[in-house]
Amino acid sequence: MSRHVPNGQQAGAFRTAVVVGALLSAVWLVSACETPAPSKFPPSASDLVLLKSAKLCDRKAPVLGRLAGVPVRHEVWGTGEELRIPADRSATGAEESLFFDQDDQLVGLLFVFPAGVSLKSYPVLRETLAQLRPSLEFYLNIAPVSARESLDPSTLYETGDAISTVRYLVLNGDPLILLAASFSIDPYAKLISPYRAEFLSRIERSGKASGSGKPSGKGSTDREPFAALQQFARGETAHFGSCGAKDEARAADAYGKAIMVGFSDKVWLAEAHHKLGLALERSGTLEPARSAIQKALTIRPNTAEFLNSLGSVYARLGDHAQAVTAFERAVTLRPNYPVARFNLAEAYEQVNAKRAIAEYETYLALVEGVEEEQSRIVKAQERVQQLKKR
């Protein structure tokens, strides 16, 4: 029985909340002006091949095997590990960083070009960038690229596919100069960001080596604990099955660890409890799932998604009265919430057939023409016909 909002929408909201990416080395972020993020999906074609040593979701052992003989530096990356390859020994000519989670799964790659790479010889990538809207525009003092003591306009572009984010940082001009690029499983994109202190310290070390000045620190800074965000990202990756089969046990473990670390923002904390509840429910651990979602509701009481999830757990526990109450609250808070309407209709079937028909019909009106809801649409239509025959 499908009861939850399609997770693609949640993942999209999750990505939008953290718009900037992993992309600066030997450069300094001085000031920024955000613009709306582009579509996550193509254009993403590129004739500049960067994924030579490894690709997202690779396991660490095979990657190390392919890098045999290369001077790889191992560094702690939260609960995971970062492998760093110097530019003069990498297959791309970039300073490469490969980020593995605690399960030895490759979740991010960063390529930094100390002297920049002219895109004059890469027409496909230039065409891709021309079709994208900037996700961030700012000014940089590019010491290794420009001899001028001035601020050079630069742009961060974002594209990707259904599970990953690709970002390019370019120095504007003719030709465009590529400064850095990153590839990441979507939930991890926020961890390799110039709004993270850990990443700014990486830039500071590079900047000191090149003689650049200290970053201004302008703009908002993400102050959520790195360890909490990393475990939340691990949970999302397991929950969505970004690197293969979904693993709700691993997701529950990760969300629980994120909660133990703690968040300063109650929105993050509430969502972590909510996601823990969803993972526990999908694992069949219903009473702990109910408790986790109720905890999310104590933090953010009037959240329709949480109420919808709580109603689903009550329905599976056989408590139809509590399920109806939760779904009714959800649609009261958000009348155009189609999945909650569908769930409410199912719950009403146990107690009030006429109300069930009305809710199914409301649901059908809300999702008319929505391809993603097709399976539920068919079921709702069938249930209306059957209920009217009673």
**Lowest-confidence pick of 164-173, 275-284, 286-295:** 164-173
DSSP-assigned letters across all residues of 303-350 = -HHHHHHHHHHHHHHT-HHHHHHHHHHHHHH-TT-HHHHHHHHHHHTT
Q: How many other CB atoms are found less than 10 A from the CB of residue 250?
A: 16
Q: Residue 230 to residues 58, 79, 235, 260, 321: CA-CA distances in angstroms? A: 18, 8, 9, 12, 38
Residues 41, 18, 22, 82: is their CA dihedral positive or negative?
negative
Residue 5 has pLDDT above 60, yes or no: no
Which CATH homologous superfamily contains domain 226-388? Tetratricopeptide repeat domain (1.25.40.10)
The percent helix, strand, coil of the chain (3-state, each to 5) is: 45, 20, 35
Judge whether 99 and 202 are in contact, CB under 8 Å: no
Provide the pLDDT for residue 224: 87
Those residues with Cβ within 8 angstroms of residue 42's Cβ, 6 or more apart along the chain or in another chain: 159, 161
Higher pLDDT, 342 or 173: 342
68-101 residue pLDDT tens: 999 999 999 999 999 999 999 999 999 999 999 9
What band does 275 get if pLDDT is binned at 50, 70 and 90?
A: very high
* pLDDT at residue 149 in the model: 46
Closest by Cα among 240, 239, 188, 186 to 41: 186
Residue 65 carries which side chain, given as an amino acid letter?
G
The tens digit of pLDDT for each residue in 94-104 reads 999 999 999 99
Per-residue pLDDT, 173: 84
For residue 248, name the pLDDT band (cuts at 50, 70, 90). very high
Q: What is the mean pLDDT of the chain?
A: 82
The closest alpha carbon to 113, from 47, 170, 194, 174, belongs to 170
Alpha carbon distance 136, 152 (integer Å) = 14
Grade residue 108 by pLDDT with cuts at 50, 70 and 90.
very high
Residue spans per domain, the chain = 7-210, 226-388
Whether the per-residue pLDDT at 208 is higher than 70: the answer is no
